[in-house]
Amino acid sequence: MSKYTEEELKIQLETKEYEYGFYTDIESETFPIGLSEDVVRALSLKKGEPEWMTQWRLEAYRAWVEMTEPDWANVHYEKPDFQAISYYSAPKAVDPSKTLDDVDPELLAMYKKLGISIDEQKMMNNVAMDIVVDSVSVATTFKKTLAEKGIIFCPISEAIIEHPELVQKYLGSVVPQKDNYYAALNSAVFSDGSFCYIPKGVRCPMELSTYFRINQAGTGQFERTLVIADAGSYVSYLEGCTAPSRDENQLHAAVVELIAMDDAEIKYSTVQNWYPGNKEGRGGVYNFVTKRGICEKNAKISWTQVETGSAVTWKYPSCILKGDNSVGEFYSIAVTNNYQQADTGTKMIHLGKNTKSTIISKGISAGKSQNSYRGLVQIGARADNARNFSQCDSLLMGNNCGAHTFPYIESKNTSAKIEHEATTSKIGEDQVFYCNQRGIPTEKAIALIVNGFSKDVLNKLPMEFAVEAQKLLEISLEGSVG
Amino acid sequence: MLSIKNLHARVEDKDILRGINLEVRAGEVHAIMGPNGSGKSTLSAVIAGKEDYEVTDGAIYLEGEDIGELAPEERAHKGVFLSFQYPVEIPGVSVTNFMKTAINESRKATGREEMPANEMLKLIREKSELLEIDRKFLSRSLNEGFSGGEKKRNEIFQMAMLEPKLAILDETDSGLDIDALRIVANGVNKLRSEDNAVIVITHYQRLLDYIVPDFVHVLYNGKIVKSGGKELAYELEEKGYDWIKAEN
């Protein structure tokens, strides 16, 4: 008799193992562990970078050495030993000049397990894939179609060499090297990532997509993403991640910079499903990410994220609304289970007149996890008629998890209008019984309730991503009912 | 249809039902009345399988099958429907989506294919017309911000969609004004047939002016202390429950 009580719900939630926890054995070329100026130089050399790039990295490294790791976030973890990490690894089987058919079959098998069939993606989803496995891009598709419109979409390592004028001008323009501890580290040692440039007035005809993956034992991964939308252009960028199961903690410190020039629009969507650790809280990815975009006149940036993975998350995709009439949006679903900890939110910096921002954050906590929303809405003195609407909802499952909200509001302009709404609710036995009585089993009932709770954000995702995200929510929260 | 034998149930350590016997045949409407705290809502919850209640003795049969050990959803799949006194809210889940999930889960459990979308749409159209429900209402989040009358109408709409064998209406009249009461009662009457049965649980007689019962039972202290025809309801209305209390 599969009756439902809060106790049983808790047990169910705790018995779901990570579905993508496997490890692919690919021969890798890996640097010895440790970080120094020499390692930074060697990394830059290895990638055949020009001198200005090497110097840029060294500047970041020197700044990083002087900085201390921040500890203001509402998360507790053992600080990583940065000298115990290897800062470069590349799957050996890769030769960029080859086609997909020549790619290591084990690698292809790995994508299959993850449900990422490149050909299928190409044909059915109209998505150009730039797949990053352990720091080096192994396959880039659709490049031709994009090139016809003048769109550049390539690994950032390639952009540094092929388009130095763009990279040199914009890299670090939104997230400076010294911005914060992890951004400085990333600037010094970033391995690879994606670069995207949309020319003036061009509407990118497809969703651009990147899948990231951490694979090598003990290898930190430091992605760098730079998206530049020139005046009047539009691009929608998708980023989705999964990672294999590991015992030791893996560090991930990415930096994403978005530049939306006058009248441009960037939609940036993330589904993050890195290994969250096991149910005792062992292992799992540390996800310390800096994501920020700048909006010029009439520009718009939307961040949408579905965060279900990682042991510790520290992430605040932000918008600097510099231009008049610019718009920033942040839509987030953060799910924590077992011992996961998430401290995530956004910063909306209103500098221009008539700037508008919207924040919708949905936190779902289960097990013994802690889920915090941290947000800053800042209205500058010049930002007349700035408007912000924030809504932070928390859903709790069981009695051992926590939900926290830290909204900061700073306004230097009396014409600003700022609204903040917050709710906390719990999945009730009554809700589940009501569903049961209509013939809906408990597992399905929880999925239904969670999806309903997250709907406002799921609706913001591109169609094919929304389906995947919905599945991910179910995987993250449901146990197989015994 | 439904046969309850010597049913005893308790919540925590408190005995609430103390030996209920009830026979409901297909095509019949039974009313269960009684003062507050007599065990009316407990009886409906126990039939539906709510786990807060422990059945300590007796048995519940649906069409001859003992359903006492079945989970609430399994009872639902077999045709038990409970119209809740206090329907719960599920934000972000539309009435339509909820019904689609409920119907398809029932079908899945009984080894049938999911209902095709066009068939589902047709069913929704049919039933919402039958109950005079505005289709806009169906895209709203389940019970969220619904008025008392809307909630109860929504319960009856779900009953129409699921076509249960046994429908239990728990205090469906509470919180309704006279117009809403008439609409809800009309809906129930339209759904009555020779193949299903209805149990109406109510405190007051007024609902029974609209849903006319074949039998009326008086529940007091966890037992059925009096049974009769519809005239019993009028007698109760006139004399109040003190008369029952005095006799027991």
pLDDT in tens, A12-64: 444 444 455 545 555 556 777 788 999 999 889 888 999 999 999 999 999 99
Distance CA A199, CA A214 (A): 32
Q: CB distance from B158 to chain A under 8 Å?
A: yes
Q: Does B11 touch chain A (CB under 8 A)?
A: no
CB proximity A444 to B under 8 Å? yes
Query: Distance of CA A167 to CAs A192, A200, A226, Å?
Result: 13, 17, 8
Mean pLDDT by 10 residues, chain B (248 residues): 94 91 95 90 94 92 94 96 94 92 94 90 90 86 90 92 94 84 88 93 88 93 92 86 79
Structure tokens at B111: 């080894």
pLDDT at A77 over 80: yes
CB B94 within 8 A of CB B145: no
B86: left (phi over 0), alpha (psi -120 to 50) or beta: beta
**CB distance A437–B72 less than 8 Å?**
yes
Higher pLDDT, A15 or A387: A387
pLDDT at A121: 37
A482 in a domain, yes or no?
no
- A96-115: per-residue pLDDT in tens? 444 555 555 655 554 555 55
Mutation target among B42, B97, B105, B166 for the A interface, most CBs of A within 10 A: B105
pLDDT at B70 (0 to 100): 95
Which residues in B44-179 belong to E strands, given as ranges?
53-62, 65-66, 80-83, 90-94, 141-142, 166-170
| Pair B93, A448: CB distance under 8 Å | yes
In the stretch 383-442 of chain A, residues with CB closer than 8 A to chain B read 428-431, 433-442
> Which of B54, B93, B157 to mutate to probe the A interface, most A CBs <10 Å?
B93
Q: What is the DSSP letter of A85?
A: S
Q: Does B141 touch chain A (CB under 8 A)?
A: yes
Residue B115 touches partner A, C-beta closer than 8 Å:
no
Residue A1, in any domain of the structure:
no
d(CA B44, CA B233): 19
Any chain B CB within 8 A of the CB of A201? no
Q: How far is A3 from chain B (nearest CA, A)?
A: 6
Choose, out of B41, B88, B103, the residue to mutate when testing the contact with A (most A CBs < 10 Å).
B88
Residue A193 maps to a domain? yes
Distance, in angstroms, between B149 CA and closest chain A CA?
18
Domain at B2-247, CATH class: alpha beta
Shortest Cα distance, chain B CAs vs residue A375, angstroms: 24
Number of Cβ within a 10 Å radius of residue A459: 11
CA dihedral sign, ordered A72, A74, A77, A81: negative
Look at residue B98 in the predicted model and tell me its pLDDT: 95
Q: Nearest to residue A213, comparing CAs of A193, A227, A196? A: A193
Answer whether residue A428 shows pLDDT above 90: no
- Nearest CA to A307 out of A340, A337, A332, A282 is that of A332
Q: Which of B71, B87, B162 sits opposite A2 (nearest CB)?
A: B71
Whether residue B90 and residue A1 make contact (CB cut-off 8 A), yes or no, is: no
Q: With cut-offs at 50, 70 and 90, classify the pLDDT of residue A87.
A: confident
In the structure encoding, which two tokens stand for residue B6, read together?
């010597």
Nearest CA distance, B157 vs chain A (angstrom): 12
Residue A451 lies in a domain: yes
Domain coordinates of chain B in residue numbers? 2-247
φ, ψ for residue B52, nearest 5 deg: -65, -20
Answer whether residue A209 is part of any domain.
Answer: yes
Count Cα neighbours of A453 within 13 Å in the Cβ-side half-sphere.
Answer: 28
Q: Which residues of A touch B102 (CB under 8 A)?
A: 435, 438-440
Number of domains present in the structure of chain A: 1
Residue B87: closest C-alpha in chain A: A434
Question: What's the whole-model pTM score?
Answer: 0.80
Give the chain B residue nearest A442 (alpha carbons). Answer: B73
Distance, in angstroms, between B71 CA and closest chain A CA?
A: 6
Q: What percent of chain A has pLDDT over 70?
A: 77
Residue A396 placed within a domain: yes
Q: Encode pLDDT of A334-378 as tens digits.
A: 988 888 899 999 999 999 999 999 999 999 998 888 999 999 999
Chain A contact present for B49, CB below 8 A: yes
| Residue scoring higher pLDDT (A226 or A368) | A226
Average pLDDT over residues A127-149: 57
Cβ distance B51 to A428 less than 8 Å, yes or no, reads no
Give how far A126 is from chain B: nearest CA, Å.
27
Is A146 among the domain residues? yes
Boundaries of domain holding A413 = 6-477
Is there a contact between B101 and A448 if contact means CB atoms under 8 Å apart? Answer: yes
Q: Which of B54, B101, B142, B155 to mutate to test the interface with A (most CBs of A within 10 A)?
A: B101
Q: CB B88 to CB A428 under 8 A?
A: yes
Query: Any chain B CB within 8 A of the CB of A325?
Result: no
- Of A437, A454, A455, nearest to B82 by CB-CB distance is A437
Whether residues B105 and A449 touch (CB distance < 8 A) is answered with no
Whether residue A482 lies within 8 A of chain B, CB to CB, comes out as no
How many CB pairs below 8 A link A and B? 83
The label of the residue with tokens 């003795």 reads B57
A115 has a chain B CB within 8 A of its CB: no
Instruction: Identify the helix (H) or strand (E) that includes residue A236.
Output: strand A234-242
Distance from CA of A369 to the nearest CA of B (A): 23
The shortest CB-CB distance from B73 to any of A5, A441, A449 is to A441
Question: Quick check: is A207 in a domain?
Answer: yes
Mean pLDDT of A407-425: 93
Interface confidence: ipTM more than 0.85: yes
Residues A282-335: pLDDT tens digits?
A: 778 889 999 999 999 999 999 999 988 888 999 999 999 999 999 999 999 998
Judge: A444–B109 Cβ closer than 8 Å, yes or no.
no
pLDDT in tens, A230-244: 999 999 998 876 555
